[in-house]
A and B are shown apart, each in its own frame.
Chain A
């Protein structure tokens, strides 16, 4: 099955949304591409998340630029595929249920507006027109028309299919156990299925990206940050936008290691409602945390009281690839020439995947990138010795 020597221009480690997008844009450019994954396509974080394409939770800076750039791709050159991954430009609503949180929401809005995020403050009457079933406790809200949603597993599977159709090769169940080195250079990877040589080895391993970087002796401090999602019984549409509470933005931006929970509630085309969110840092911990589930449920019922009687059919959790400054790590690593990174997107990886894939493909092909890679540089965290891991 595996040729004795597998050589390609680009080798992507990880077939999540980010890896698939890189494979797609690289293959489109005519580069030869191989993708390896320790499991099945998209079986990591991409199959255990919600598929958020958000601008509303972004602070100004490189992440917002990448979000806006990605949104243009989703709605531009990828628009013809939108139906395949259930793209919905449904808009997001942040609900404040206390005067104090409304005040901080208003402060955030002003800053966001200055940086070009489209947002409008709406009063309770308007909120009720958007979301008739939302809590009566609401005192005000903000509406973000650009917030969108996709079905993440379909995004990943179709991007990988489109990459394959453009010539990329996918190797599932092919775990990377080591790197092929030549001095500091990274020339390829070693797997149970043999060696894969490549001019550019791209670390798109999501929350496992930190471990992979350590194989090359470089520090990219990506850590897993666990999040639960509850999935309800299917129902007639009762929630029309992505709806979250004002605390959500604070949690996204925080680096707290303990459990944080804030409600994020949205309907899906299939009828079930997805309910998040929680954030916990504690490694790849797979033990059940009833506290997280309980708090998510409590928060969701506060936001949409009718949910109290709704049944949850299942829950799942995934590991967000967290980095301390909440900015993804994208670009070549000068400490290990040949190694590139495209990880650390935390909870925004699905939305940012296509932008990441496109600028990586431009950089690998030696062209100017549409966004500067400088701010995403892997060297910004210092050397490996600094993390006592």
Chain B
């Protein structure tokens, strides 16, 4: 499994193994433990339940907002926008 895929994360390209979820790509390759800020306290949030229950890991993928990063299989060319500096 030497092949890799490339994602864009907030404009930066990262190269990952194709089996990654978007959450895993952010954590393992982009070294981003958090990719969202809470709307009241501006706290960083990342992966919590890991199985689609808690909605803490929301992210925008290819322009579609509010998707759970833990559930999305990463695909070559995906454009990921986090709101770590926003206030979603």
Task: Find out whether A and B make contact in their complex, taking CB atoms under 8 A apart as touching.
Answer: yes
Closest residue of chain A to B63 (Cβ to Cβ) is A309
Inter-subunit contact A236/B87 (CB<8 Å): yes
Q: Chain B residues near A305 (CB, 8 Å)?
A: none
Within 8 A of A (CB), among B53-71: 64-66
- How many A-B pairs have beta carbons closer than 8 Å: the answer is 9
Give the complex CA separation of A309 and B64 in angstroms: 9
B contact residues vs A (CB 8 Å cutoff): 39, 64-66, 87-88
Task: With both chains docked as a complex, state the minimum distance between the C-beta of B76 and any C-beta of chain A, in angstroms.
Answer: 25
A271 at interface by CB-CB < 8 Å: yes
- Nearest CB in chain B to that of A271: its residue: B39
Chain A contact residues, majority secondary structure: loop
Q: Identify 9 residue pairs between A and B in the complex whose beta-carbon atoms are under 8 Å apart, listed by A's number.
A: A233-B66, A234-B39, A235-B88, A236-B87, A236-B88, A271-B39, A309-B64, A309-B65, A311-B66
* A234 and chain B: residue at smallest CB distance: B39
A159 to B72, CA, bound (A): 47
CA distance A234 to B87 in the complex (A): 11
Determine how close the nearest CB of chain B comes to the CB of A68; give it in whole angstroms. 35
Binary contact track A188-202/B, C-beta < 8 Å → 1, others 0: 000000000000000
A236 to B, closest residue via Cβ: B87
In the complex the two chains form, what is the Cα distance from A233 to B64 in whole Å? 14
Chain A residues numbered 39-60 whose CB sits less than 8 Å from any CB in chain B: none
Q: Scan residues 202-256 of chain A and give those whose CB is less than 8 A from a CB of chain B.
A: 233-236
Q: How far is the CB of B69 from chain A (nearest CB, A)?
A: 16
Residue of A nearest to B58 (CB): A233
Question: A133 → chain B, closest Cβ, in Å?
Answer: 15
Not counting A235-B88, A236-B88, A271-B39, a sample of 6 additional A-B residue pairs whose C-beta atoms are within 8 angstroms of each other reads A233-B66, A234-B39, A236-B87, A309-B64, A309-B65, A311-B66
Complex alpha-carbon distance, A235 and B39, angstroms: 9
Q: Which residues of chain B are near A235, meaning CB under 8 Å?
A: 88
Assembly CA distance A311 to B66 (angstroms): 9
Contacts of A309 in B (CB 8 A): 64-65
Q: Mark A15-57, 1 if CB is under 8 A from B, else 0.
A: 0000000000000000000000000000000000000000000
CA distance A234 to B64 in the complex (A): 16
- List residues of chain A with CB within 8 A of the CB of B66: 233, 311
